[in-house]
Every structure is written in C-alpha cells, then in structure tokens.
Structure 1
Amino acid sequence: MKKALVLGASGGMGYALVRELVSRGVDVVAFARGKEKLKALFEKESKVTIYAGDVLTEGEVSQAAQGVDVIFHAINFPYPVWNVTHLICMDILIRIAEAQQAKIALVDNIYAYGAQHKEKISEDAQKEPHTKKGEIRLAMEDKLKDSNVPSLIVHFPDFYGPYAENTMLYETLKNVVRNKSANFVGGVQVAREYLYTFDGAKAMVELALRDDAYNQNWNIPAVYPITGGEVIKMIREETGYQKSIRTVSKTMIRFLGMFQPFMKEMVEMMYLTETPVILSGKKYETEIGPVPTTPYQEGIKATLKWMMEKDSKVSSMPTTINR
C-alpha cells in the first residue's frame, strides 16, 4: 500500500488511521466535510493531502480516490439518518473501488453480531442482529462480500480517544473536563470494552498492509472488559474530579428520546450496556501477532489531556492531570 484514502478523517478513528498510515510511510488523502478542521489536523503533514467533500457525492469521492490502493471507510453518520446514508455510501464506494481497482477497509462496530451470550465472540459467530442499526451494519458487510472488491471488515468495540466525540465514554469525559456533574451511560457494575483509537488504527493498518488479510472479518478487542466503576475511579484519580457522576439508564434514555432524536435512536442500542458483546482477539493473535493495547489509565489520561487542551472551559478544572 503506497497511497490510501481515509473517509471520515477528522473523526476519532479516521484521525488515528491517518496518523498510523503516515507513520508507516503511506501517502494519505484525508477526506471529511470540514476543510478548516482538516487543515488544523493535517496541514503541516507533508504526506497528507486534504480533501473536503461529501461522501454521498460520488464525483467528489472519486476524485479524492485517484491513484489510491486502499479506501478506509471510517465514516460516522448520525444515528437518525443511518437507514438513508450507510447503504448508499457503500454502493458509491464499491463502484469507485472497482473503477480504481482499489481495496476497501471497513471500520465496523459490533452491532451486526446482535445479542450474544458467549463469554467472548469470535469472527465465526452467527450474526443475527435484532436492532435496525445491526441490520444496516450487516447489510453493509453483505454488500462488500457480494462485490468484486477485496475488502477488510474489522469489528471494534466502543471507541475512546482524541476526536472520538460520538461515543459513550466521551459523554462522561466531556463534563469531567468542565468540572460539571457528568453522566455515565449504563450500569457501573457491568464490564464492557472501550478501545483506544490508536490501538484500533495500529491493528487495522497492519491488516490492510497484508494481502492475505482481505476478504475476511477480524475482531479487535480492547485491553480487557472494564466496569464503569473502575473507569470512574481512574478518572477521579487522574483529575481530582469530585463532582457526582449520574448513571443514565435505558428508561432515562427512552424518556429523553421523546425530545431528542439522537436519544430516541440510542434506545435500541442500550442492550450493549446490559449484556455486552465482548470480542475475542484470538484470530488476530494467531495469524498476525499481539493485539495492540494501551492500558486504560494511560489512554484515559491522554484523552483527558486532549479534551482539556481543546475545551475553552478547562480553566474550571479542579486540578491538572497527574503526570
């Protein structure tokens, strides 16, 4: 792989992918809607070409994809428009990849697996999604597999890290850095996975560089499942944060959904906070090597540091992050 296109380059995983690709000597076209944000992120990087455009406009994506070997799909559409955007976008990418003779690497989540009751889920687990969003993600997979495009489908748990702002853990951290009372989505006693974006990017780029990794699904787990209580303890230790952290239940999300479209769409995914899907990394470990892992304490510290630098209200933070 000499040149790659990263769609959604200003988001959490897209940003991490650009950084990882560049670190391996790959030229990158960073594609997202906001030109100013792209410039702020990558303008000083000689191996990155900035392209501001709309992923649903085929001509713009096609132009950005000229000469690329791999197209990384790291696009994060808002929940309320998933049923309209995702499959259209996938059709566009398949046509462009076929025309460019490029490969597609899909940043995927765990929704297509549906509710699972095994301790850890391997890539050969039966996919029987019971939610609308799970059905859409599975349909995206099927489109890729039915095409003539070599594809890489990588399943990740919920992310956290710089620029990963549409995530459950971000909902907690954003108020911590402002020294306000915060919310934690789901019960604090249930162990779930949170993957540091830079770990996910390292694993995915490693796969994308290997021809024999394509036309397969890969699961990339986090360090280990961790409870909300453990996460909150780490946050308090790192920051000296003393405010209350309220647990946001499914009932509360359903109530908020009466007024907020995003919350209404989030209700069906709350099963993941009750019976989490925990990924097995055995396949990656056997065929590639150790799964990249950053200790939670280190990853949370780095994420909080980025958020404090970004947020204009950080002056109200009770203490600095412990070094």
Structure 2
Amino acid sequence: MPNVALFGAAGAIGKSVAAALAASGQPYRVVGRNVANLRAGFGADPLAEIVGWDPNDPASVRAAAEGVDTLVYMVGVNYWQFELHPELMRKTLEGAVAAGVKHIVLIGTVYPYGRAVANPVREDHPREPHTFKGRMRKAQEDILMQAHADGRIRATVLRLPDFYGPGVEASLLHGAAKAAVKGGTADMLGPLDRPHEFVFVPDVGPVVIKLIDTPAAFGRIWHLAGAGATTQRDIVAEMERQTGRKLKRRVAGKTMLRLFGLFNPMMREMVEMNYLMTDPLLMDDSALQRLIGPVHKTSYAEGVRQTLNALR
C-alpha cells in the first residue's frame, strides 16, 4: 500500500513529486477531483494508485487519505477563488486526522509575506500580506500549523517562488517559451528587468521526498529558492540565444492588467499581485540546505533548454 498520498497531484508540482517517488521505487497515491486527468497523467505508472475525492464530502476525504502515513498537499483553486484555500485545507486536515495520517506537507508560496522588508527573505520574515490572496494563503498555513501545535498531526510547509519547466503552462515564462519555439508574440507580465527567481519544477520533487524522510522538518516552515536571482529579460535573452532568433514580446503592466481585467477574471485577479513583479522578493533557503544537505538546482540555461525541447 502507498505510504504517501499526493493531494492535487495533477498539477506541475504534483507530477514532480510523483516522478521522484517513482524514481525511488516507492508506490504512491494520486488524489484529485478529476479522475480522468489523473488517469491521463499517471495511468501508465504501475506504482501509482489513482483515487478521486470530493472535498465537500468528509467520507470521501477520509477515504482518499486512509492508510497512508504522509499527505503532500498541492491542491489548487481558480485564481479568482482564493477564499477556498483555507476551507479546503480545513476539510482535508479533518479527513486526514480522522484517517490516521501522521504527517502533512503543504507546498506554499511567498504570498503570505506581502512586500519584502529586506532581501533575501528568510523564513522568519514578518508575514504581513496586504493582498486578499496573501491573506488566504496565510490563513491556510495557520490552520495547518495550529493543528501541529495542538498535536493533531505533524506538519510542515515548503514555500516556493515562481516556477517553470517542461510542460508547465502555469508559469510566467510559458508564453515566452511557446513563442520562442512556435513563433508569434510572447505575452508577458512586466516589468521584465526587475530581479526575480524561478525554481525549475523537476528540482522540487526530490526536495519534498527528503523533507518527508526528515523528522526534524516538521513543525517548521522552509524555503526552496530558485537558481539565483535573474530577470525575465535575461531569461528571454537565453531563449533567443538558444533558438537563434529574436522574440516578439507584448508586456502587460498593472495598468494593462486592469484594462484586460474588465473582460477576463484571471487578469483582474493578477492586478493585486503585480507588486511581486515590481518589488523583488528573493528567498533564502540556507536553513533548508542545513537541514537536508545541498540541493540540486538546475541552471537557468539548462532549464530553458529542457523547457524549449519539451515544446518542440
């Protein structure tokens, strides 16, 4: 029977964690609301057990968590429905505790911090979110870590910056990568020249597996930073270098996002998060590396190469 259940496995990070488990020969359970998507993504892997769940049905949540020791939580919601994050965490947590799950790992974001007071940002940086989405992510973390403090379950959070990689469409860099390979104009969020960092998605799974196997990881929050500070302009330049042609760009700033938001709910919800494009927030993951040892980070040049190859 699988020892680990991946809730929200169909997303990019879920696939990375699943790949790391499969590479180590460990059976695992993939859990999601769309069983067809799970079958498409994991049906060919004999190590994967596919389980559907309904987060609004306590019996379904408990059944999806039954028999596993560790739950990795990566459940996503629509960008305009962030109020669901705390609610879904609470329902999943209740089901996991009832099922006897001992450990839970939440894959988190930088949203709960709000604007960076100083860079690089360590785990003890104040959490003072000034956005709705930041407050919802903070509430999600608080629910989980309070359950740990109460002795109901052992919990930890791994916070990630923006990410990219082969097949990762929900990335700031996907439009540029697609245009670099297939032509056309790259739709990007600006400004492009501010310091930023990206984590290469295939690098995440092995780190999550190490956290699961490290008892001292629980009860704390950790950072996994990207492969150093860069800019979107530098990433585009690398794409141009590797493809040998200039990339046409259409860059949307906050004003344009507001205009697009009149017709597109996704664009409307991105307005409040545009501060992450204008005010750098870079992560310090030295605490994580002291805990689990050196972390492999794919260089941006290699990450771009693999991302472009996947689109060819």
- Whether 2:300 is the aligned partner of 1:301: answer no
Q: Which amino acid aligns with 2:264?
A: Q
Corresponding residue for 1:211?
A: 215
How far did residue 2 of structure 1 move?
5.7
Q: Quote the RMSD (CA, aligned, Å).
A: 1.7
What stretches of structure 1 of length at least 5 have no aligned partner? 309-323
Corresponding residue for 1:145?
A: 145
How far apart, CA to CA, are the structure 1 residues paired with 2:306 and 2:10? 18
Corresponding residue for 1:42?
A: 42
CA pair 112-9 structure 1, distance change in 2 beyond 3 A: same
How far apart, CA to CA, are the structure 2 residues paired with 1:55 and 1:166? 23
1:216-274 CA-to-partner distances (Å, cap 9, x unmatched) read 10011011011112100111122234341122211111111111111111100000001
State the TM-score, normalized to the length of structure 2: 0.93
How far apart, CA to CA, are the structure 2 residues paired with 1:300 and 1:56? 39
Q: Which amino acid aligns with 2:173?
A: L
Q: Which amino acid aligns with 2:80?
A: P
Selected match of 2:182 from 155, 178, 182? 178
Residue 60 of structure 2: SS of its match in structure 1? helix
Aligned positions of 1:126-205 closer than 5 A: 126-147=126-147, 148-205=152-209
How far apart, CA to CA, are the structure 1 residues paired with 2:72 and 2:56? 15
How far did residue 56 of structure 1 move?
4.1
Corresponding residue for 2:91?
A: 92
User: Any conservation in 1 of the 2:236–2:247 contact (CA below 8 Å)?
Assistant: no
Greater CA drift, 161-170 or 253-262 = 161-170
Q: Which amino acid aligns with 2:76?
A: N
Residue 66 of structure 2: SS of its match in structure 1? coil
1:122-178 CA-to-partner distances (Å, cap 9, x unmatched) read 111111111101101110111011112211101100011234322212233233333
How far apart, CA to CA, are the structure 2 residues paired with 1:97 and 1:53? 13
State the TM-score, normalized to the length of structure 1: 0.90
How far apart, CA to CA, are the structure 2 residues paired with 1:91 and 1:190? 36
Aligned positions of 1:215-294 closer than 5 A: 215-294=219-298
User: Any conservation in 1 of the 2:160–2:223 contact (CA below 8 Å)?
Assistant: yes
User: Any conservation in 2 of the 1:56–1:88 contact (CA below 8 Å)?
Assistant: no
1:58-90 CA-to-partner distances (Å, cap 9, x unmatched) read 33332221211111111221111111x211211
How far apart, CA to CA, are the structure 1 residues paired with 2:285 and 2:118? 14
Q: Which amino acid aligns with 1:145?
A: M
Q: How many residues align?
A: 307
How far apart, CA to CA, are the structure 1 residues paired with 2:3 and 2:263? 44
Q: Which amino acid aligns with 1:4?
A: V
Q: Which amino acid aligns with 1:230?
A: D
CA pair 88-199 structure 1, distance change in 2 beyond 3 A: same
Q: Percent identity?
A: 29
How far did residue 32 of structure 1 move?
2.4
Corresponding residue for 1:112?
A: 112
Residue 107 of structure 1: SS of its match in structure 2? strand
How far apart, CA to CA, are the structure 2 residues paired with 1:210 and 1:114? 29
Corresponding residue for 1:316?
A: none
What stretches of structure 2 of length at least 5 have no aligned partner? none
Residue 182 of structure 2: SS of its match in structure 1? coil
Aligned positions of 1:26-37 closer than 5 A: 26-37=26-37
CA pair 9-307 structure 1, distance change in 2 beyond 3 A: farther
How far did residue 275 of structure 1 move?
0.8
How far apart, CA to CA, are the structure 2 residues paired with 1:26 and 1:128? 39
Corresponding residue for 1:313?
A: none
